[in-house]
Amino acid sequence: MGSSSNTISDSQSVEHLMPEALVAALRRRACAMMPHRGARVSDTARNRLEIAFVLLLAMTPLPIWAASNAAAMNRQALKIYVSVDMEGIAGVVSADQLNPPGFEYERFRGFMTDEAVAAVHAAADAGATEVVVGDSHGNGENLLVERFPKDVRLVRSFPRRGAMLAGLDASFAAVVFIGYHASTTNSAGVRAHTISSAHFTRVALNGVAVTEAEFNAAYAGDLGVPVVFVSGDDAAIQEINGRLGPLDSVVTKTSLGFHAAETLTPAAACDAIYQGVRSAIGHRGQRKPLKIAHPITVELSFKNYRAAEVLTYLRAIQRADAHSVRFVGQDMQEVSDFVDFVDFYNADLTP
């Protein structure tokens, strides 16, 4: 048994979880057990009364909010960012699933949402206190927002600074990639491209061609945030692991061509993603942020030569070859802004 001084300490540790009114009421009950004013009370009797007060506290059931407060006090903030693309989602093989005109798009945006929600649940079960989800495919308006837990925040639509990681900052502990694909220089991946399938044939950082995952990992790395998990087709996972080192990952399908794959079912993919993300966040300390040398040289190669020609009217941009330009940024934020400007700018933009 503990001493009387330890008993008082125990009572105080319980009191701070309870409303002042409840503590006061319990104290009044304990005081009613004490002798009337003027009576002499021995130290032993006083200690017994103190013990009685502690027992009253202990026998009073703590409401749900009190247990939640106790858990919150012992739970450190853990913020996770989930970036969701679509080409790497289970079952996706062509534009029929990827764009609103496609006859399967509505069903597959649902499957995309399910994989994202699986990652969110996994993050929460791994201890995340805050999750932000970036809708990062096409127009950025694919995920069915009503299917997410009410405490999740979603980043939607384009253009936006930070692109596929808009809203990420140094307060996040880890980044998760869902539905990612191989790069435009990879001949094996389903719907392989880098950032813009319409415009770019190559994107390079410091002279090395990169995937979207690697570009985004470098962006996160500049903020000190590691990437811990990726899902996508087998070509994407092999390429990303070769660039970033072995990541926790889920292969959602095996590429059989640019528009063909042998795929998991949506339910199987969600189960695997849940397990993979939960495990990855659990040992996130083993992953380090991707750091690349500053200043950063980005090279963009276009399908057509005229874009490269006109961009070099700006003196900060150099012509690398007939179809390519080169720009030097001080950090990945500046590089990302440049790439987004080139990808999205149109003199006819409205409103």
pLDDT digits over 242-255, tens only? 999 999 999 999 99
User: Which amino acid does the sequence have at 329?
Assistant: G
Same domain, 10 and 53: yes
Strand-strand pairing, 174-180 and 227-233: parallel
Answer whether residue 109 is part of any domain: yes
User: Which amino acid does the sequence have at 319?
Assistant: R
Angle between helices 105-125 and 266-282 (to 10 degrees): 30
Same domain, 160 and 175: yes
Q: Looking at per-residue confidence, does 186 or 69 come out higher?
A: 186
User: Which helix (DSSP H) or strand (DSSP E) does residue 296 occupy?
Assistant: strand 296-302
Global pTM value? 0.80
> What's the domain range around 37?
4-72
Same domain, 105 and 206: yes
Same domain, 100 and 176: yes
Measuring CA to CA, how many Å separate 177 from each of 117, 119, 171, 290, 339?
A: 13, 9, 18, 15, 20
How far apart, in whole angstroms, are the C-alpha atoms of residue 335 and residue 337? 5
Express each pLDDT in 107-150 by its tens digit: 999 999 999 999 999 999 999 999 999 999 999 999 999 999 99
Same domain, 60 and 193: no
What mean pLDDT do residues 162-179 have? 98
Residue 13 in this model has a pLDDT that exceeds 80: no
Answer whether residue 308 is part of any domain: no
**Tell me, what CATH number does 168's domain have?**
3.40.50.10780
Q: How high does pLDDT run on average in the chain? A: 87
How far apart, in whole angstroms, are the C-alpha atoms of residue 338 and residue 326? 11
The total number of structural domains that make up the chain: 2
Residue 72 in this model has a pLDDT that exceeds 70: no
Residue 237 in this model has a pLDDT that exceeds 90: yes
Same domain, 108 and 58: no
Same domain, 208 and 254: yes
Answer whether residue 166 is part of any domain: yes
Pull the structure tokens for residue 116: 């994202």
Nearest to 111 by CA among 135, 89, 141: 89
Residue 346 in this model has a pLDDT that exceeds 60: yes
Same domain, 83 and 68: no
Answer whether residue 238 is part of any domain: yes
Express each pLDDT in 173-207 by its tens digit: 999 999 999 999 999 999 999 999 889 999 999 99
Express each pLDDT in 293-313 by its tens digit: 999 999 999 999 999 999 999
Same domain, 249 and 142: yes
* pLDDT for the residue 76: 86
Same domain, 84 and 193: yes
Express each pLDDT in 94-110 by its tens digit: 999 999 999 999 999 99
Express each pLDDT in 80-91 by its tens digit: 999 999 999 999
Q: Are 211 and 184 in contact (CB under 8 A)?
A: no
Q: What percent of the chain has pLDDT over 90?
A: 77
* Strand intervals (E) in the chain: 79-84, 130-135, 153-155, 174-180, 200-205, 208-209, 227-233, 248-257, 260-263, 296-302, 317-321, 324-329
Same domain, 67 and 181: no
Same domain, 65 and 109: no
Measuring CA to CA, how many Å separate 265 from each of 114, 164, 191, 234, 262?
A: 12, 26, 19, 15, 10
Q: Looking at per-residue confidence, does 25 or 244 come out higher?
A: 244
